[in-house]
Every structure is written in structure tokens, then in C-alpha cells.
Amino acid sequence: MSATPRKKAVVLISGGGTNLQAFIDASQRRELDFELAMVVSNRSQAGGLTRAEDAGIDTRCLPSKGISDRAAYDRSLATELDRLAPDLIILAGFMRILSAPFVSRYAGRILNIHPSLLPLYPGLHTHARALAAGDREHGCTVHFVTEELDGGPPILQGRVAIEPGDDPETLAARVLQVEHQIYPRAANLFASGRIVYRDGQCLLDNKVLSKPLRYPDSL
């Protein structure tokens, strides 16, 4: 009798890779229900590449600088990914908008983490925007990626209180800590088959998730 093969994930990064590190740490603690098969960066200087190499994970760099043809870049990216046939694509600070053909090729298999309580503040400068709005809480969301920027169905959110005296940097640092907690957990829900993307919605245990799970209460 053969064991079911472990699911394979590819992590896409552009920068320092602290979320990638959270996955690496969870993997080393044997807490991930899938294998980190490869890390791909669109920037050669991304610190996350070193983190992956140090952990013995296969890496690729596909520089995007100066490439204006988004569809062509995404086709090269897909060629790299298809060699591995990943079950899951984890965007971890990948600072590129993916083209519609790329998203539809991997529909329901791409996750992203966004530093806000979506649907609040899609796009950039989320911490400054939450502060400017006078919000009392802020946080982060793991969601499925669709063609709409930061608009795919949310899976899991983590919240932080906004404290008097917070600035975008202090708030970002606290949110990042929570990102590291929720992202591997959300990816595990996907890898175990409990969370599924279907027809623009997120299903948990075959039921439509009408609002995102909350960490730590819902898990």
C-alpha cells in the first residue's frame, strides 16, 4: 500500500521573506501538511532567497525588472511552476499583479496574505490608511487570489488593536507577527482539503464561508 504523496507548494516572493520564514519554521517543526517544494523570486536581491537556500529549499530567480510584457513574464513563471505541478501557490510578499491567464491557470490554488482586514484597504499603504481612518483595530487576511486585486474570497483573519501612539511602522510590525501565525495555518486548511475555492467562494468543510475565520477563535 503506498502512502498518499504530500502536497507541494511553491512560494513566490519579492523581498525579505519573513512570511516565508514562518513557513520554513513551521515545516521544520513538522507542522505543515505540505512540502515547500520551491521558492521563486522576481528580484535577485530578495532576502527570502537566502532564507530558502539556508533551509535547503530549491530556489529560482526570474527577474521581472525591465520586462513590460506582463503576460510573457507570467508565461515564463508558469513554465517554471508547471515543472513541479504544485498543488498550492503561496504569494508571500510577491509584489507583482498576476495576469488573468495566470490566475485562471491556477484557479483556486493561489493564496495571498494582505496586511489589512479585507475588504478594508486593498492595495498599498494599508497601515497608514487604517490610522488615518481612526480605526480601532487592524489586521491581516489570507485569501484566495482571483483577478480582482486583493478581492478574492477571504479565508482567515487575524486582528490587532490599534494603540494610542501607533505609527505605520509600529502597527506594521505587530500585524506582521500575526501574519506569521495565520498564514501557515490557512495554508494547512487548504492542503488538508478543508478549505476549497469554488465559483468565486470559499468553502469550509463543504459549506460556504460567509465571513472569514478568525484567528485564534475559529481554529
| Per-residue DSSP letter, 151 | -
Residue 19 engages ligand GRF in binding (rule: CB under 6 A) = yes
The H or E element that residue 51 is part of is helix 47-54
Residue 179 engages ligand GRF in binding (rule: CB under 6 A) = yes
**42 belongs to an annotated ligand binding site:** no
**62 belongs to an annotated ligand binding site:** no
CA distance 183 to 191: 12
Nearer Cβ to ligand GRF, position 15 or 168?
Answer: 15
Count of all residues that appear for the chain in the document: 219
Estimate the crossing angle of helix 168-191 against helix 18-28, to 10 degrees: 40
Active-site annotation holds for 114? yes
Quick one: which segment of 66-74, 109-117, 130-138, 148-156 binds ligand GRF (CB under 6 A)?
109-117
| Site track 78-97 with ligand GRF (rule: CB under 6 A), x = hit | --------------xx----
Quick one: which segment of 77-85, 110-118, 148-156, 188-196 binds ligand GRF (CB under 6 A)?
110-118
Residue 145 engages ligand GRF in binding (rule: CB under 6 A) = no
Q: Which residue is nearest to ligand GRF (CB)?
A: 93
Residue 122 engages ligand GRF in binding (rule: CB under 6 A) = no
Residues 20-59 that bind ligand GRF (CB under 6 A): none
Q: How far is the CB of 9 from ligand GRF (least distance, A)?
A: 15
Helix (H, G, I), strand (E, B) or coil at 210: coil
Helix (H, G, I), strand (E, B) or coil at 91: strand
**141 belongs to an annotated ligand binding site:** no
DSSP string over 152-164? SPEEEEEEEEPPT
CA distance 67 to 170: 34
Residue 154 engages ligand GRF in binding (rule: CB under 6 A) = no
Residue 139 engages ligand GRF in binding (rule: CB under 6 A) = no
CA distance 184 to 64: 27
Closest of 109, 170, 94 to residue 144, by C-alpha: 109
How many of the other CB atoms lie within 10 Å of CB of 19?
24
Residue positions annotated with a catalytic role: 114
Annotated binding site for (6R)-10-formyltetrahydrofolate: 70, 95-98, 112
Residues that bind ligand GRF (CB under 6 A): 15-19, 92-93, 113-115, 140, 176, 179
